Amino acid sequence: MSKKTVIITGGARGLGKAGAERFLKSGTWKVALFDMQADLLAKAAEDLGGRYGKENVTTAVCDVTNLASVSAAVNKVIAEFGGVDCLINNAGITRDAMSWKMEEKDFDAVVGVNLKGAFNCGRAVINHMREKKAGSIINTSSVVGLYGNVGQTNYAATKWGVIGMTKTWAKELGRSGVRVNAVAPGYTLTEMVQTVPEKILTSIAEKTPLQRLGKPEDIANAYYFLANDDAAFITGAVLAVDGGLVI
């Protein structure tokens, strides 16, 4: 049986790399990792390829804010693996500040990666999936996008925007057999979150009904579920993976 192909942006570490490992473990998927950080990308590919087969992993150094860069990377994947069955728009950055202190460059940077980047990557694969009449796009939102957060005007706005884009694409692409969903992680122990003071993380865990922060594997499992046929009748959904934090 031929393997399917998933593209994961921001794939060099954190949620992206955890997602890649989840797909590779299944034995039924090949993975293409996109990232700007060439050195980390090479290390991730060496690690995952060494454990799951180099033939199942490819990479592209890709700037998601640039449509030409994304299109070239997608074409590379199609040439190597024969197609794209799933896109996970996982790449994201933060540039936090209170609204009255936030600089324009930091607002623009977050919008560029988190929102425009997701659009660019979707734009680069949509016609391919429409022609195949099959595919899954998974956009990474956040509980911050659903409920807001102090000091994260830019981040919250992009993650709310991603939800609007998800629902719009689900309506546009459903008749072509393409499903589009979003995952909204809570506080998850990635490199980005681990820069938050331990006292604050402990407080968040205590407020979470499941009494812990998320693990990258928790989000990876959600990605994998939505990509596969078990979720064949799910589109336009926002799956919160937050341990019940916002109940």
Position 52 pLDDT exceeds 90:
yes
pLDDT at 100: 98
Q: What's the predicted TM-score (pTM) here?
A: 0.96
**Cα–Cα distances in angstroms (integers) from residue 207 to residues 145, 202, 213, 246, in the given order:** 19, 9, 10, 9
Give residue 94's pLDDT: 94
Which amino acid is located at 246 in the chain?
Answer: V
Instruction: State yes or no: pLDDT of 193 exceeds 80.
Output: no
pLDDT at 9 over 80: yes
Distance, CA of 238 to CA of 222 (rounded, Å) = 11
224 among known catalytic residues: no
> Using alpha carbons only, what angle is made at residue 193 by residues 74 and 118, rounded to the nearest 5 degrees?
25
pLDDT in tens, 163-192: 999 999 999 999 999 999 999 999 898 877
**Contact call for residues 30 and 3 (beta carbons, < 8 A):** yes
Confirm if 146 and 160 have CB atoms less than 8 A apart. Answer: yes
- How does strand 86-89 pair with strand 135-140? parallel
DSSP 8-state assignment for residue 94: -
Name all domains of the chain by residue range, CATH numbers in brackets: 4-240 (3.40.50.720)
Catalytic residue among 52, 155, 187, 224: 155
Q: Looking at residue 228, what is its pLDDT?
A: 98
